[in-house]
């Protein structure tokens, strides 16, 4: 599973990506507020957007992700954040997934298992 992780602090981003990489996920990240993320090479299977720093910027990236039809299928997980920031984000993105950092690995692992199941079902239905 390819994961795009957004967090607005480079050193913290590397720390947050490490457990996902250790679990075997292919993770790319973005931290710069001065340039937009590039997803031209390969679209991720999942986007993880941190609400712990600059949550309004994370919401802007979520809008950008889902505004193009070719990216609307990508699930977004918002991680962390102050309760008022999470609440504001939930109002704007009710179809996104929300969790705390400590729950992220289990959530991503479960989403991957669900994705594999769905692919197997799809393959059987095509046969």
The label of the residue with tokens 């918002």 reads 78
- Please give the domain boundaries of the chain with CATH numbers for all domains: 2-126 (3.40.50.2300)
Q: What is the mean pLDDT of residues 5-11?
A: 92
Per-residue confidence (pLDDT) for residue 35, from 0 to 100: 64
Report pTM.
0.88
pLDDT of 6 above 80: yes
Report CA Rg, the chain: 15
Q: What is the pLDDT of residues 51-92, one digit of tens each?
A: 999 999 999 999 989 998 988 999 999 999 999 999 999 999
- The pLDDT, as a whole number, for residue 115 is 84
Note the pLDDT of residue 19: 95
């Amino acid at each position: 599973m390819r994961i795009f992780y957004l967090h607005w602090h480079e050193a913290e981003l590397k720390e947050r990506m490490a457990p996902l990489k250790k679990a075997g996920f292919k993770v790319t990240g973005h931290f710069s507020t001065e340039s937009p993320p590039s997803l031209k090479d390969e679209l991720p299977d999942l986007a993880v957007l941190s609400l712990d720093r600059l949550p309004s910027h994370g919401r802007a990236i979520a809008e950008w992700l889902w505004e193009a039809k070719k990216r609307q299928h990508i699930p977004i997980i918002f991680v962390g954040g102050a309760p008022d920031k999470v609440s504001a984000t939930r109002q704007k993105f009710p179809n996104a997934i929300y969790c705390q950092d400590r729950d992220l690995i289990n959530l991503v692992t479960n989403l991957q298992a669900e994705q594999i199941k769905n692919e197997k079902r799809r393959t059987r239905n095509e046969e």
